[in-house]
Structure 1
């Protein structure tokens, strides 16, 4: 007989994973809601997700967040998909229910909530989405539902940008999901050099380039005068993408800590049925980083 730990176990799995602040965030959520839990980081090699993930649940784990590069593999292995995951073709939140592996994607709702917190004007916005991986997949539907008028996907490999567009539309049709006002909105795809001069209200970096200390190679004249440059990567200092965007004329820059907290809060709700205070969590995290620098 297998002895499972008595404390509720959760984790985030990815590669790289050392930078993740998800354990800190979920412990803050637990303190707010008077829950007791463990939340760990799991580093898996690129070919190990299919064995490491099931082993976590077999050993008593209750919920798992999924980050780069495993979101599409988590989607493929999920037995029950939420509507958000079905539309995204990617999963970042897993849990077992009645013996079945459930998958959801909370990235998009996390991004939209954080952009709203930043007073970004989403209704009618022209959005440049940089990247075509699992992070980008998770945010298309929520951005369009929020009223964005045009989303242009760019990627180093143009083929992958077009594949994302086609996969997304196919997923909507296959699962009988609405195309998020697709008839009224434009969605296009291309390479990094097809971004368009002065065209974008919001530029979102959905690549992991900042984790490698680099910024995507975008044309310097893509930003409108009041534009927002948003990096899904986060940290105590400006990311490489943010630094370059500011030089190239972005009016405002933000990292993805707010998105991380908002998507984590949605995962927390799926697992516990409780909604934590995300603004208080964000202020605590920023204050902790600020104190560490002094």
Structure 2
């Protein structure tokens, strides 16, 4: 093939890739007149069809772009939801590619890759294990303390991180066991990541192990108490500039998007819980 033809082909491919991550074009084929679980299934098909599976090492490389702090401190450090202090000085910072776990004993020792939807529930299988839209860089110590506990609102804390995230007994009367609560600034971020997971892996959810936050169904996916918490956080903590930036950058690597960042209204169009 002549060099001119190769160059033209590369330009075409580059243009196609850019168009794929363009918001308006990405969703252009969706039947948006639908709602509820019917719409959820159509959205799941889109996210699955466009998803390019990453390797576990790819995540660290992607974080050097997707998780730079461009909005809070603007210092290009790795933005960790468990150490970021949106109203003051961060207790510690992570530079991209440095202090990756590794070994840790204390907060600030290193950062690793946290699966917001616990990977033990899907047997550590790909593409779930390496899906950047629910696998976030986080402090190793705090990630270890969160373990596989559901997210929720803590009544009585038995451990508090340096930025105020808590582990303790839930104050939700519908669920009184141990939960992990991030600070208010990132509750919506986590909720939208978990809702993404429910849509992207709709067809696989019934084969996963259950825990207290899941109900095993492909439709609702999450236990009612937990889904109510996610939708509450989604409404109370609107989409941030960092989320929009991360969504765009992550798409460059994985080729799909988190639709609840682009269209927050779709979450309530899909799930209705009393």
TM range (shorter): 0.3 to 0.5
TM-score (norm 2): 0.33
More strand by share: 1
| Higher RCO, Cα 8 Å, sep 6+ | 2
